[in-house]
């Protein structure tokens, strides 16, 4: 028992004696006080132990609170805002389309310009060559957001996948068409020796449109996250091309690669207008690849043939995008 407690007990005993209490009563009261003090000491010890536990747990709680605050901040940072919520986008685009080389002198485009021996024998007028190499295009597709930081490599640069469908009209001419002319020649029983028959094939002509359909899948990088004006590029994308009419080898499917770049401006939340330019490099799998004998035979018949057709095209136009 400490000195302070002993002095307290002695003072209580003295007070009780002074008030006329007997020694026995004083002794009982002292015992009761001692028991009460012991109980208070136990309660104080328990409180100190609880405080020690709370003090020891405080750093852990503080760390947990900091971790939660950090996670909330990350979620808020990554959360879509009015200017960048439209990671996925439906787009429509259109504009000018041009070919690097025209498709004139094809069997299906203009009957190889029938101005030679066969044309003279049948009375056919020389065909107007379908030599147009420019026109227009219209397309649509989707942009799908893959990563907001290009898989951690380029912060602020989105990585997207673009799936597109594009139709191009590359001009048309009123010229001789393969079907009707072939039927006329068969009706006249054209042989090597000339024409046997009385049907005049002069003027059998029709409108022949040069068209192309491209389905594409491309990776796309979009810069300046959070800005209203955002440039983008397609480093290289896959093209699947369908040409109409078919080539001289009657093939109409081709593959290729597209390269593109452009700008998008978000004038309303989730809605953009833009401009882009694209180059479609074709593998030219529809090329008939005439050998020397075939090319010479065509020349001997007074026909012109395109011995090295090139299906490369390029487009320049505007677009409208709608985020979702």
215 and 114 inside one domain: yes
Kindly state the percentage of the chain with pLDDT values over 90. Answer: 34
* Better-predicted residue by pLDDT, 86 or 296: 296
CB distance 277 to 231 below 8 Å: no
The residue among 210, 203, 312, 181 whose CA lies nearest residue 254 is: 312
> Where in the sequence is the domain holding 148, given as residue range(s)?
89-323
Contacts of residue 178, defined as CB under 8 A and 6 or more positions apart, other chains included, come to 107, 108, 111, 245
- Which one of 47, 78, 109 terminates a domain? 78
Residue 24 has pLDDT above 70, yes or no: no
Residue 51 has pLDDT above 90, yes or no: no
Coil vs helix vs strand at 309: coil
* Burial degree of 210 (CB within 10 A; 0-12, 13-18, 19+): buried
Residues 31-49 pLDDT 10s: 777 788 888 888 888 888 8
Residues 267-279 pLDDT 10s: 998 899 999 999 9
pLDDT recorded at residue 132: 81
Top mean pLDDT of 56-60, 235-239, 249-253 is at: 235-239
183 and 104 inside one domain: yes
CA distance 163 to 217: 5
CA distance 111 to 232: 43
Average pLDDT, the chain: 80
- For the chain, the domain total comes to 2
163 and 263 inside one domain: yes
Count, in order, helices (H) and strands (E) of the chain: 6, 8
Residue 83 covered by a domain: no
10 and 130 inside one domain: no
CA distance 298 to 104: 15
| CA-CA-CA-CA dihedral for 168, 161, 154, 323, to nearest 10 | 90
Coil vs helix vs strand at 53: helix
CB distance 284 to 311 below 8 Å: yes
67 and 206 inside one domain: no
CATH number at residue 267: 2.40.160.20
Angle between helices 3-18 and 23-78 (to 10 degrees): 130
pLDDT recorded at residue 231: 97
CA distance 210 to 131: 10
């Amino acid at each position: 028992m400490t000195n302070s407690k002993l002095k307290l007990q002695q003072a209580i005993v003295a007070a009780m004696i002074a008030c006329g209490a007997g020694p026995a009563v004083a002794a009982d009261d002292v015992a009761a006080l001692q028991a009460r003090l012991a109980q208070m000491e136990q309660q104080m010890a328990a409180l100190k132990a609880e405080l020690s536990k709370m003090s020891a747990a405080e750093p852990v709680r503080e760390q947990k609170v900091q971790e939660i605050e950090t996670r909330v901040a990350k979620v808020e940072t990554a959360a879509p805002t009015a200017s960048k919520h439209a990671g996925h986008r439906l787009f429509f685009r259109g504009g000018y389309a041009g070919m690097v080389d025209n498709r004139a002198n094809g069997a299906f485009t203009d009957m190889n310009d029938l101005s030679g021996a066969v044309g003279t024998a049948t009375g056919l007028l020389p065909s107007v060559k379908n030599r147009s190499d420019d026109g227009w295009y219209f397309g649509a597709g989707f942009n799908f957001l893959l990563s907001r930081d290009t898989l951690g490599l380029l912060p602020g640069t989105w990585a997207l996948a673009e799936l597109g469908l594009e139709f191009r009209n590359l001009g048309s001419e009123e010229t001789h068409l393969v079907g009707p002319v072939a039927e006329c020649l068969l009706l006249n029983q054209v042989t090597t020796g000339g024409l046997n028959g009385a049907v005049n094939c002069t003027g059998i002509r029709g409108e022949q449109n040069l068209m192309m359909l491209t389905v594409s899948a491309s990776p796309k990088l979009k810069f300046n996250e959070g800005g209203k004006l955002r440039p983008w590029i397609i480093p290289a994308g896959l093209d699947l091309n369908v040409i109409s009419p078919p080539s001289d080898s009657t093939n109409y499917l081709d593959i290729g690669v597209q390269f593109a770049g452009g700008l998008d401006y978000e004038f309303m939340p989730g809605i953009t207008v833009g401009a882009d330019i694209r180059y479609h490099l074709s593998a030219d799998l529809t090329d008939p690849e005439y050998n020397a004998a075939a090319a010479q035979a065509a020349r001997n018949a007074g026909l012109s043939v395109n011995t090295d057709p090139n299906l490369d095209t390029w487009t320049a136009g505007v677009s409208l995008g709608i985020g979702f």
